[in-house]
Amino acid sequence: MKKVIVYYPYSMRELTSGSAVRPRKMLEAFQELGVKESLEIIEIFGDSIQREKLLTQLYNEVNPTDILYCYMENATIPMWLTDKDHIPRKPFLEIKFFKYLKSHNIPLGIFYRDAYWKFNDLYTVRQGVKQGMQFLFKAELSLFKKYSDIYYLPSQYMNEYIQFPDERVVALPPGGIDFIRPDGPLLDEQPRAIYVGGIHPRYGVYEMLNAFQKLNKEETQITLTFVCRKEELAKFTHLMEPYINSSWIQLIHASGEELMPLYRKADFGIVPIKKDVYNDFAVAVKMFEYLSYGLPMIATNCNAQMDLVNDGNFGIIVESNEKSIYNALQEMLDPKKRDELKHHAILALKEKHLWYHRALTVHETLTN
């Protein structure tokens, strides 16, 4: 039986953030691919000691000619520091593994998660540490450029800052899970929107909330389920205060499976993040959570997410300002419009945006 290696240079974490969700969902997608394509999926992850043990087992027990390819995802910190205490116990572990793959002509595809460390205003670790970390990120990136055959990015736009060879770059955004049920919200009921995410001003939530406030000034026309972290609300209470007691907003702290009934009650989602250099290439996992429940969406005109929405015709693109979002909310009052967008959202999910489709993309690009 042919084999595929899925390699993560870190331990799996709880599914509390996008960076934690993705590796687990991709692993599950590869397991599904393995069943459908009769492949054995070799899973290698854990701290450096665990990875060394699994790699030794691989070198000793697996015939390299049976391995089709290796798929890897980098961490949010340089791979040498991913042990819980960030001590680089096995600094040559991955280099040896990369050389093994290269010597046996086993294609390597690496998903490069983020480029926030290249933006000084976003990468806010303290000085001294910052320069050291950026040096390690650059060293890691150089290794990836030397040994990887295909480079997967959240969007093609990100490559402007990473500079992989364009012909070997493949967009691999997050994916969704088919949670769609036929008994969704009734179209003649008052529509309900949902927002799940941060409440720092950079997320564009206050422009969104102002638009809701304007729309619902005389009477409530669209209600909003607003989901955020409790600790973050405490930090930004002064900004949220004008909206918290409004009749049209339901403020909830929830995560994971607690979100399921909230998504099921919603008619559409909102991704209001502000357009800037970074957000133009980033793709939010939450967008695909909305899609997982067949929810159309209002999304801002950040390049990568705008392309995805327009390609699937499952949402309304807006600018990150009150007027533009208000106009989109007015459009969403039309049940026929919502029904049309919902139909496209369901099609887009089932035909091209499941996590399985992401694993299939990797499989096709690394075996061709």
The pLDDT of residue 119 is above 90: no
Count up the domains in the chain and report the number.
Answer: 2
Q: Would residue 180 count as lying in a domain?
A: no
Which tens digits make up the pLDDT trace of 288-343? Answer: 999 999 999 999 999 999 999 999 999 999 999 999 999 999 999 999 999 999 99
Q: Would residue 113 count as lying in a domain?
A: yes
Q: Determine the Cα–Cα distance for residues 309 and 216; give it in Å rounded to an integer.
A: 26
Q: Would residue 182 count as lying in a domain?
A: no
> Tell me, what amino acid is at 180?
I
For residue 201, give every residue at least 6 positions away whose Cβ sits within 8 Å of its Cβ, in sequence order, or none: 239
Beta carbons of 344 and 296 less than 8 angstroms apart: yes
Q: What are phi and psi of 274, to 5 degrees?
A: -75, 140
Beta carbons of 203 and 236 less than 8 angstroms apart: no
Both tokens of 103, joined, read 């010597």
Q: Determine the Cα–Cα distance for residues 321 and 325; give it in Å rounded to an integer.
A: 6
- The position carrying tokens 């489709």 is 357
Between 276 and 122, the more confident residue is 276
163, with CB counted inside 10 A (0-12, 13-18, 19+), is exposed
Give the model's pLDDT for residue 19. 65
Report the CATH number at residue 296.
3.40.50.2000
- CA 99 centroid distance within chain: 30
Q: Are residues 295 and 347 in the same domain?
A: yes
String of DSSP letters for 187-244: TTSPPEEEEES--SGGG-HHHHHHHHHHHTSSS-SSEEEEE--HHHHHHTHHHHHHHH
The pLDDT of residue 16 is above 80: no
Confidence of residue 13 (pLDDT cuts 50, 70, 90): confident
Q: Would residue 181 count as lying in a domain?
A: no
Q: Are residues 137 and 216 in the same domain?
A: no
Which tens digits make up the pLDDT trace of 49-102? Answer: 999 999 999 999 999 999 999 999 999 999 999 999 999 999 999 999 999 999
Q: Are residues 306 and 361 in the same domain?
A: no
Q: Are residues 316 and 358 in the same domain?
A: no
Q: Are residues 142 and 275 in the same domain?
A: no
Structural domain range at position 142: 3-175+354-367
The pLDDT of residue 12 is above 90: no
Q: Are residues 161 and 213 in the same domain?
A: no
Both tokens of 166, joined, read 């364009």
Give the model's pLDDT for residue 20. 78
Confidence of residue 249 (pLDDT cuts 50, 70, 90): very high
Confidence of residue 183 (pLDDT cuts 50, 70, 90): low
Q: Are residues 200 and 348 in the same domain?
A: yes
- The position carrying tokens 């004008």 is 242
- Mean pLDDT lowest among 9-18, 235-244, 267-276: 9-18
Q: CA nearest 155: which of 138, 169, 176, 140?
A: 169
Q: Average pLDDT over the chain, rounded to whole?
A: 94
Beta carbons of 280 and 305 less than 8 angstroms apart: no
> Tell me, what amino acid is at 66?
D
Q: Determine the Cα–Cα distance for residues 230 and 227; give it in Å rounded to an integer.
A: 9
What percent of the chain has a predicted confidence (pLDDT) above 90? 88
Confidence of residue 17 (pLDDT cuts 50, 70, 90): low
357, with CB counted inside 10 A (0-12, 13-18, 19+), is middle
